[in-house]
Structure 1
Amino acid sequence: MEFRVLFFLIYASTFKSAIQAQDLQAPNITDLAFKNTDFALNLYRKISSRHDDNIFFSPLSISTAFAALSLGAKGSTLSQILSGLIVDTLAQNEQPELIAQLFSHLQGNITQNRALQLEQGIALFVDQHFQVEWEFSDQIMKYFDADIENVDFRQTEISKETINKHVRKKTGDKVKELVTSIDPLTQMMLTSTIFFQGAWEHPFDPNQTRSSRFYVDKYNIVQVPMMLIIDKFYIATDDELGAKVLRLPYRGGASLLIVLPDSHTDYSIIDDEINAARVQSWIKNMEKIKVEVHLPKFKMEHSYSMHKILPALGIENVFKNTANLTGISQEVGLKVSQVLHKALIKVDERGTIAAAATSVGIMGYSMPHTFFVDRPFFFLIYHEKTESLLFMGRVIDPTK
């Protein structure tokens, strides 16, 4: 089974790098991965509170983009970004370079195993009449290996095609047109892309896939292509939460976690209860048993206007006229005008393609020998070595 995930983030604004990092007992990438998981779940809750539909995004792509942006932010704008990403306690004296350095190390560890097909990219498109601070340009290239290109935003069609061409290249041609229009007054645009293609360590046999019922709710039943595999997998039961967790590994050091609420559990309750500590406890307390897995094939494509969602997490100033982005440029009035996030995922027999302390009773041995995913469920794709959350979502209706 092949799994691909694709994520794209774009925003217009300007940035700059602040203070020199002091490497004094700096936190490690495990600390960052833990914080990023909590950020992901906070963001998920804000998205899920708006509707009861399918959800899919890449928290790592969003946080990486804002980590890059933090290099050019100062004052309350910087404080809000670090606090919203839940990495403020990792920064020493609000030095954004330390956070950028952590993200750089995390990315290096994730891509260290070349068997794992995961590509991330940051690109900065700057109007040819706009002067970016040299220090910011230097640091965004240093920590994020960013591509920096001058464009003439007044020529909207040419600049739009330049950016979309870059995105198509970085996402394996999966996102063909991220930008549909450009304001000629745009001064800067930052894009963050992530592309993941994972092949199952234990592929599903396409000949075993059958049409089966999926219970969207008590009143809506849909027919879906249901995959089947019988093998040994790591599982856990969270009795307090009322859910079962299954780990399906990919080749190269990543895994898909399926969180399946019990038949009597309302999935919205799980929305409120999942946090980084809980996810970590599932991973560390799983037990390997032989299990019959029934998993629906599905694919989703979702776009989010993050500039309308992130203020709910406290990241507000960066979108206002009072934004302090003087680290990017000394010109006044610079702000982030737009944050667009687009994510794609496809799960089938070969794998996945995707373009984004709680006390828990874990009893792996009590897991039933059949794991039948025939009702709404959650899923998380994470890097095993760093326990970094790459993508997450929920499936309410696999046919949509």
Structure 2
Amino acid sequence: MAVHKMKMGFMFIVTYMCFLAPVHQAHLPSATISDLSFKNMDFAMNLYRNISSYHDKNIFFSPLSISTSFAALLMASDGVTHEEILKGLNLEELERAEQPELIPTLFQLLHEGIVQNGSLKLDQGMALFMRQQFAVKEIFKGQIKRFFDADIKSVDFADTKGSIRFINEYIKHKTENKVTEMISTLDATTQLMMINTIFFQGAWQMPFNPNLTENAPFYIDNYNIVQVPMMFLEDKFYSMEDVPLGARVLKLPYQEGVSMLILLPNKGMDYTVIDDGITAERFLSWIKKLQKIKLEVNMPKFKMEESYSMHNILPDMGMASIFNNHANLTKLSKEEGLKVSEVLHKAVIEVDETGTTAAAATTTGIIAYSLPRTFTVNRPFFFFIYHEDTNCILFMGRVIDPTTN
């Protein structure tokens, strides 16, 4: 008698929202957390380059949200699948055979370090939606609750309309109504769905004056120019110039220890050339070499809403088996044929005057402050929203056209 094994789909959805952001100072000099933060940085840069190879449009995503979700899947996986996730997340050097819970523990400590004093508006959550009769191993269920404080909910996936409504309402609530229609279709044979949400809202330490915002040209390229509402602020800012890269860096601090770092390619410099030069080492060198000078800053207001099918992107980064019939998720369940069928990542950001809903110049102080210099963001640029104490990149993006949403 022939035995037919059912191939069970495992849908994994990552959703996150970035809005204007405040931050807080955590006191975590721990080298292990620093190691994780650094590895996450490199993962962010690698993922960015992979996404950018598909198109030359705006990009915005949360590397922390994606890496946290797959860190949870590390606990569910074994064999080749486990090794691929480790390598894809750039976490191989942090794996310890004698400490199987080290990586999830570091993610837990990193999250606690970021939100330690409670003043940072960063809500991150994880949820497992399981088919009502789906048998998840108790060890995994306990781990994902302990390390990621995950909600575990039973869903009747056969009722697709009811499941879609229930899950979208959950996401809408977790992102404070910013992500409202995460999923529109659902396979009735879905066994398990994982969702990670991250919501960040902050206010600038030095707000822009709305009365000074005026329309100004933004040069997408040599042939395309758009008019954008350009914000203006004159003050003392931390800035530096990366001469070898051909770009300038500006730090725009939010309240309570989170900042946006703007990377602006020099005039005439193709931003695609800079892509390959953005690394974790370089990011840290920018932060270390920042110097405070008086600047006139001109920055466009912009909104972005970006969605990515990560199951089409991550295999190019070596994470392939988890999405096919060779997936090894034996630590998740005894049920056979499990695989991740879908990974969706949706990111939203709004930057305005009040905040965001992210070789050093060697000049003497007298000269630096005698006349205001200008930092005019009127061409494609990169930005990073990061937590200062841990150097953890919460969000990362590229703006090619600030008028497209």
Percent identity, aligned pairs only, is 57
Q: 1:149-164 maps to which residues of 2 (within 5 A)?
A: 149-164=153-168
Residue 286 of structure 1 aligns with which residue?
290
Match of 1:48 among 49, 52, 61: 52
- 2:386 matched to 1:382? yes
Give the RMSD, CA atoms, in angstroms: 1.6
Counterpart Cα distance in 2 of 1:113 and 1:31: 22
Counterpart Cα distance in 1 of 2:241 and 2:31: 32
Contact 2:12 2:195 in 1 (8 A): no
What TM-score do the two structures reach when normalised by structure 2? 0.90
Assess, with a 3 A threshold, how the Cα gap between structure 1 residues 52 and 364 changes in structure 2: closer, same or farther: farther
Give SS of 2:357's match: strand
- 2:394 matched to 1:396? no
Assess, with a 3 A threshold, how the Cα gap between structure 1 residues 325 and 364 changes in structure 2: closer, same or farther: farther
Residue 271 of structure 1 aligns with which residue?
275
Counterpart Cα distance in 1 of 2:294 and 2:127: 45
- 2:130 matched to 1:132? no
Residue 386 of structure 1 and its aligned partner are, at CA, apart by 0.2
Counterpart Cα distance in 2 of 1:295 and 1:13: 36
What TM-score do the two structures reach when normalised by structure 1? 0.91
Match of 1:192 among 165, 177, 196: 196
Q: What is the aligned residue count?
A: 373
Residue 362 of structure 1 and its aligned partner are, at CA, apart by 2.8
What letter is aligned with 2:387? Answer: H
The worse-fitting range, judged by mean Cα deviation, of 159-168 and 276-285 is: 159-168
Residue 179 of structure 1 and its aligned partner are, at CA, apart by 1.1
Counterpart Cα distance in 2 of 1:394 and 1:197: 19
Runs of at least 5 residues in structure 1 that lack an aligned partner in the other structure: 1-10, 15-25, 355-360
Residue 114 of structure 1 and its aligned partner are, at CA, apart by 2.1
Match of 1:167 among 164, 171, 183: 171
Q: 1:31-70 maps to which residues of 2 (within 5 A)?
A: 31-70=35-74
Residue 102 of structure 1 and its aligned partner are, at CA, apart by 0.5
What letter is aligned with 2:360? Answer: I
What letter is aligned with 1:104? Answer: Q
- 2:342 matched to 1:338? yes
Contact 1:321 1:333 in 2 (8 A): yes
Assess, with a 3 A threshold, how the Cα gap between structure 1 residues 149 and 390 changes in structure 2: closer, same or farther: same
**Which portions of structure 1, spanning 4 or more consecutive aligned residues, are displaced by more than 3 angstroms?**
364-368
Residue 125 of structure 2 aligns with which residue?
121
Residue 11 of structure 2 aligns with which residue?
12
Counterpart Cα distance in 1 of 2:351 and 2:32: 32
Residue 383 of structure 1 and its aligned partner are, at CA, apart by 0.3
Residue 255 of structure 1 aligns with which residue?
259
Match of 1:100 among 101, 104, 111: 104
What letter is aligned with 2:95? Answer: A
Contact 1:151 1:159 in 2 (8 A): yes
Counterpart Cα distance in 2 of 1:300 and 1:99: 32
Residue 285 of structure 1 and its aligned partner are, at CA, apart by 1.0
Residue 3 of structure 2 aligns with which residue?
none
- 2:144 matched to 1:147? no
What letter is aligned with 2:122? Answer: L
Counterpart Cα distance in 2 of 1:172 and 1:268: 35
Give SS of 2:338's match: coil
Match of 1:112 among 109, 112, 116: 116
Give SS of 1:28's match: helix
Residue 363 of structure 1 aligns with which residue?
361
Residue 199 of structure 1 and its aligned partner are, at CA, apart by 0.1
Q: Deviations over 1:245-279 (max 9, x none)?
A: 00000001100000000002110011111100000
